[in-house]
Amino acid sequence: MVLLPSLAMLFPLMFLFCLPPLMAQSISTNSSSRSAARALDALLQDYAYRAFLHPRTGVPYDGVLPSNLSGIKIAAMRLRSGSLRSKGVKMYREFEIPIGVVEQPYVERLVLVYQNLGNWSMLYYSLPNCTNLAPVLGLLAYDASNLSATNLPELDFRAFGDPIKIRFSNVQSAPDGSVPKCVWFDLHGLVNFSNLTSGNECLTFQQGHFSIVTESISSSRPPSRGEEKKGHRKVWIIIASVLGGLALLALLAFLVLWARKCKQRKKMQEMEKAAEVGEALHMTSVGDTKAPMATITRTQPALENEYVP
């Protein structure tokens, strides 16, 4: 039957009404997860500094973490701030630091602590309705004057020329229809999104924590062209489903009426037949042939003028 597919179309219609309402996305982490992340920063600074025994400047040293933090990787590099400003650092793990990076307040030597939070990333830096496609990486600057110091405040650390480049490795591919974004968490809980540059590269002018995320499918954002087309298709499917459903209902109603009419007609025919049988004329033999014979005349003939006064 031609209308049968329309029945199947009614099913997606049902699910469309079950979708959750769409919401905008907040861009600030909550205070309890922020303070947990700041406590982790302090702990990692401590362990990173312990990697220095006889540190040479410009050489990264891997830190060793206790087993309750396994999955996280850290490193520390000590630099003269003059050399950082005039030369930058060609490559420090995923970070490429250009010429012109200046710390504030000024210190003679500083330490750049590198963090790769690995499978702990989501625990400390999860965003509602976002999926991490890469581990969270951190780059934080501290004063290097006392290498056994703990709970050091970070130095403000900015690129005044070119931005710092972060080349992520091991990035998961974004699900179909979603766009990966660079995300930057500053030290005060602010979150900022930006576009990826070439490949899996993000840019920053400041220190903090960085990752690549994609918004979960159900979150709201301005639809791209392809999605708009998809939206149009959805609307058409709804219209087709409704029309198909209505047509199906009309067909059903028609069938019911038709069946009822059929039944009625059959009953009529039976009644007529029964009437015919009941009214069967009495036959009488006239010689060799049988001929119908009326027993009584039902309407008595009357002269038309009989009643006329």
Closest of 114, 107, 116 to residue 144, by C-alpha: 107
Q: Which residue is nearest to ligand NAG (CB)?
A: 71
* Residues contacting 16, CB < 8 A, separation 6+: 234, 238
Q: Does 178 contact ligand NAG by CB under 6 A?
A: no
Q: Does 28 contact ligand NAG by CB under 6 A?
A: no
A 10 A CB-CB count for 42 gives 13
Instruction: Name the residue nearer to ligand NAG (CB basis): 32 or 198.
Output: 32
Which amino acid, residue 82?
A: G
Which amino acid, residue 277?
A: V
Total interface residues for ligand NAG by CB under 6 A: 28
Q: Does 33 contact ligand NAG by CB under 6 A?
A: yes
Instruction: Name the residue nearer to ligand NAG (CB basis): 178 or 192.
Output: 192
Transcribe 135-203 into DSSP letters: --EEEEEEE-S-TT--SPPPPEEEESSSPEEEE--SPPPPPTT--EEEEEE-TTSBEEEE---STTEEE
CB 50 within 8 A of CB 149: no
Choose the stretch contacting ligand NAG; rule: CB under 6 A; options: 4-12, 27-35, 51-59, 91-99. Answer: 27-35
Closest separation in Å from C-beta 104 to ligand NAG: 16
Choose the stretch contacting ligand NAG; rule: CB under 6 A; options: 9-17, 63-71, 234-242, 285-293. Answer: 63-71
Closest separation in Å from C-beta 73 to ligand NAG: 11
Residue choice 7, 42, 149, 257 for contact with ligand NAG (CB under 6 A): 149
* Residues contacting 91, CB < 8 A, separation 6+: none
Closest separation in Å from C-beta 26 to ligand NAG: 5
**Is the N-terminal amide bond of 66 cis, ω within 30° of 0?**
no
Q: Which residues bind ligand NAG (CB under 6 A)?
A: 20, 23-26, 30, 32-33, 43, 66, 68-71, 119-120, 123, 128-129, 146, 148-150, 192, 194-195, 218-219
